[in-house]
Amino acid sequence: MDKQNKVKESKIHGLVILKGASAKEKSDESTYAFESVDQKNKIKLTSELVPFGASYRYSILLINESLAPITEIKARIKFPKFLTLTRISPTTISITPQPDESGAKLVSFEIDELSETSKNQINLYFKPILLNIKGELRTNITYVNNKDFIRVLDSDPAEIKILAPEIEGKLISSPKIAEFLKTKGIKKAIKSLGIATDGKQNVALYFDHVEQLLGFHKFQLITKDDKKKIAWFFGMDLNTKEDILVIGQIVANKIEFLAASQHHHNLISLLTILSNEFKKRILSIGKIKSIDNIYELECKYCGGVLDRFPSKGESIECKNCNRAQIIW
């Protein structure tokens, strides 16, 4: 079994599924057969791992630059066990992560035939569940070429390191908040939670825990509105020296942490901490029987934040992609 050379490509942006050239754009197919086309070094694989909201997006791009299709394409993606795979795009791909012999996780799936001069990009979205840890993601693809030989492509490893920020409170005036959010290169992310209980939601209690949690992590309270249940906090990460704005709020039956900083990795780590610790707090005071009773209000199709926490069994439509789903 031969292995083709790894090929790097420029950064990937968005989902790319380009169909092959039309018959009018090709040379006359009667002058050659697909079997005679040379595909050597014409089938390429590249990958990219980037922050995406409160998650990481891992994209693989398979490129067929030859004038013949490839078939029986199978992908295997290995990722660290401290990551949780939340969704995949296209959503038609069905995956179930399995443990790998090395202790990592593995997903396997098939890809449709890739026609001549075409591309296919697949995006996987991951959330960290642990911090202060590192690992890597790898992709392996096998396919059958136009001469009925099996070929293999391996991606370069995509390294990931999840570090907990070390916060020092920083005082700024309220009018400076809007100015900070307009800073060039500022990144924003949000973690939205819904607590599934049979009784009435105790929003005052939840808001108290939001305040306590941010204070525990040494953020400086800038201002708050007890009536609207919203508070603004500010601080600086001592490791990166980057400022971070965090807003904690209760709205539409949702508990939300919104964060902004120029260091996107910090936002993902911070929101992971705040989400995990808030869930543990609500569990410890007996408001829920299990952590599973707290839902992350993210559309399972596009990843957009849902505008409210629906009641049990109620279908809600995502305002971003207009697709309906049931949360609990």
Q: Which domains, from first to last, does the chain contain?
A: 2-162 (2.60.40.1510), 167-296 (3.30.310.10)
Q: What residue type is 319 in one-letter code?
A: K
Judged on CB neighbours under 10 Å (0-12, 13-18, 19+), 303 is buried
Per-residue confidence (pLDDT) for residue 32, from 0 to 100? 56
* pLDDT score at 30: 44
Segment (H or E) for 55: strand 55-64
Could you list the beta-strand ranges (E) of 80-215.
Answer: 83-89, 98-99, 105-111, 118-128, 133-144, 150-154, 158-162, 167-169, 187-195
Residues 289-316 have pLDDT tens digits of 999 999 999 999 999 999 999 999 999 9
Token pair 């306590």 is found at: 212
| Residues of the chain falling short of pLDDT 50 | 1-31
Phi-psi region of 112 (alpha: psi -120 to 50; beta: other; left: phi over 0): beta
Which parts of the chain fold into alpha helices (H)? 175-181, 203-216, 264-284
Q: What pTM does this model have?
A: 0.86
CA-to-CA distance for 249 and 252, rounded, in angstroms? 10
